[in-house]
Structure 1
């Protein structure tokens, strides 16, 4: 059997096999790798070191046992192999070691080793082979269709909100619905009811005339309203931050036959009353009447302390 075969067999169980006066083969562990969708199991990488020339007896003893000869004859056989190998290298020939690789001199007379492992020399990887696999791609899952339900909008007739948010805009709605829109374009442009102008113009309403007012028009007798000090309950038609706007609103109420009154500033707003009453029952009755005609007006009852 050739010496190169003995070297391969020794590399299966050893990490270093030295050829006396020539060099040694060194095996290094290489973990499993994946390259180009191909799996490679763990193995041994073989390198050659020409400085390992000391005789450790491993290769000679193995030759002696394999061929059944004594140590001296085994050493002579190995020496002859080394001499022949050196001669082939000097002649620029490649020296092959079975299933391990080959040696040669490069252009600068440096000894080079090219590993060419034909089998995995790592015993722990016995039975494992290289294999290829298909590249996995992320599957594009179709998104579930979303069912959109279309619902008809529900008109909001009236919704009670906080007084701070409605104190400016909503309380004027009932007053502007009851009063004709003559000569009030300038007022609307400066007040908080400017955005309701189009709505009110499209749905004109006649002013409310009480039985007492009708009798007054026929008899041309003007009924004097009770003084504000004698009244305690008032129906508020609007609240204004500007006193000028409050006065303009009062003037419009008077042109329509209402004795509007500025009750003063409450929480930074001038409260303008449409009517005043001496009892709560009268005020509540009138409030119910106004709300039944226009539920979204936002009129309310103010009580003097």
Structure 2
């Protein structure tokens, strides 16, 4: 069954195409609040289906080949067998259940209708988050209860004996006078030190200016300018047409050199999680450009070239 492979790819990609059947698309929905049920829902990926995207972009087949340790043509054949079974079941007006994806059926017009039904949240940034139910805060009711309690509580006034604290005002006056005198002395001392420092700094600056006016600066036999080689930087693009993947980096570089001799902008990209070095024909900014280039390569050079999508 290829549903598990589709499900695994939906964590990383927004579009997973099943050749000859259609494409499963994802869209991120932000966190939601259901005021009627007092429930907070975390952000998630919503799954939809587009029956018009049927061309093989190589993503699903390459993933199945790597996971099942089979060749790329065998992976394509596996997909075709699964699609034939799905279409046969739908043609008999039966409901097709796809695990962790949803259900598929045909309407009266013969069009495919997809109903997402999955407990899995494919949005990795929301991993571990679940819906939270919180009871409504009834502020007005609590306020009325507090007011009722205050009305019932007795208030008792206890007479206090007046004490004589007149001596404290004399102490306060003494503290203020001492503080003012200390502040005045400190200000006088700071001004005197600042004046002496300014005199010394002016004398030092005059000597420095004299030395600068007397000095003559020159450079004998200046060294010629050195041109440093600048490594060509590749613009970061998300779509790559892959010629193949190699266990040996040396073999990958050799294959890239051969493609460059043939006129392609080929290069070796970073090693993937399977320990392989992919060699690409080129990189593109949009899916449409990459897919058109891959189709041209299929027709003329390499039928097993596939499309790699790397999220930026």
Q: What TM-score does the superposition give when structure 2 sets the normalisation length?
A: 0.45
Q: Which is greater in Rg? A: 1
Q: What TM-score does the superposition give when structure 1 sets the normalisation length?
A: 0.46
